[in-house]
A and B are shown apart, each in its own frame.
Chain A
Amino acid sequence: MIIYGTALLAVCHLLGIFLGDLLGSLIGVKTNVGGVGIAMMLLIFARMYMEPRGYLPKPTEAGVSFWAAMYIPVVVAMAAQQNVVAALRGGHVAILAALGAVLVCACIIALINRMEPKSDVDPFAALADPDHKPLV
Chain B
Amino acid sequence: MLAILDKAIEHNGLVGAFAFVGFIVLISGFISRKLTFGRMHGSAIAILIGLGLAYWGGVMTGGKSGLADVSLFAGIGLMGGAMMRDFAIVATAFEVQPHEARKAGLIGIVSLFLGTVVPFIVGATLAYCFGYSDAVSMTTIGAGAVTYIVGPVTGAAIGASSDVMALSIATGLVKAILVMIGTPVAAKFLGLRTPRSAMVFGGLAGTVSGVSAGLAATDRRLVPYGALVATFHTGLGCFMGPSVLYFAVKAIMG
Contact = CB atoms under 8 A, between A and B. Distances in A.
Interface of A: 9-10, 12-13, 16-17, 20, 23, 29, 31-41, 43-44, 47-48, 61, 64-68, 70-102, 104-106, 108-110, 112-114, 116, 123-124, 127, 129, 131-136
A47 B99 CA distance: 12
Contacts of A64: 91, 94
Nearest to A86: B163
Contact of B115 (A38, A105, A133): A105
Contacts of A43: 90-91, 93-94
B15 interface: no
A109 B50 contact: no
A13 B90 contact: yes
Given A76-B43, A79-B80, A80-B54, 13 more contacts: A13-B86, A39-B93, A68-B94, A81-B54, A82-B162, A83-B166, A84-B51, A93-B130, A95-B174, A124-B195, A135-B102, A135-B104, A136-B101
A99 B204 CA distance: 14
Interface of B: 17-18, 21-22, 24-25, 43, 46-47, 49-55, 57-59, 64-68, 73, 76-77, 79-81, 84-96, 98, 101-109, 111, 114-115, 118-119, 122-123, 126-127, 130, 132, 141-142, 144-146, 148-149, 152-153, 157-159, 162-163, 165-167, 169-175, 178-179, 182, 186, 189-197, 200-201, 204-206, 209, 221, 232, 234-236, 238-243, 246-247
Interface of B is mostly: helix
A99 B174 contact: yes
Nearest to B136: A31
Given A47-B98, A99-B178, A80 B76 contact: yes
Contacts, number: 342
